[in-house]
Amino acid sequence: MLRKARISDIKAIHELVNRCAGRGEMLPRSLAELYDNMRDYLVYEDHGNIIGTCALHICWEDLAEIRSLAVAEGMRRSGIGRELVEACLAEAKAFQIERVFLLTYQEAFFRKVGFILTDKKELPQKIWTDCIKCSKFPECDEAAMIKMVI
């Protein structure tokens, strides 16, 4: 079942995201950051277990970011990731946000959902709010991708 995250989901989201981060698939998220941005998150729940998560974070009037797409290892390639991303894109469209971007190590997956590569320089809101605080800045090795939503 796909739904908006609840406070009671945050520790499970934290565990799932940081397990993926530990494998080098994404950047980690702190509990504080997850609580601060809880309203951004969707979860995929199966029999009471959070097996997938993804967030849509609004950055600017015409720009949002998909963050922290994580699916439990045994549940990958089952369509959960695509369903989470498509739900975020639908939410962006409902908010009338023109562009959705992301930074990823999973280029092939996001190409299948319609994202294309872009230059990070095209995302100044992201660079000067989040990226500048990252330990990988300015030597980021993630690919920037974008999709027009409306």
User: Can you give the residue ranges of every domain in the chain?
Assistant: 2-148
Query: Do 146 and 122 touch, CB atoms closer than 8 A?
Result: yes
Per-residue pLDDT tens over the stretch 87-108: 999 999 999 999 999 989 899 9
Neighbouring CB atoms inside 10 A of 72's CB total 19
State the average pLDDT for the chain.
90
Answering whether pTM is above 0.75, one says yes
User: Homologous superfamily of 2-148 in CATH?
Assistant: Gcn5-related N-acetyltransferase (GNAT) (3.40.630.30)
Per-residue pLDDT tens over the stretch 56-88: 999 889 999 999 999 998 888 899 999 999 999
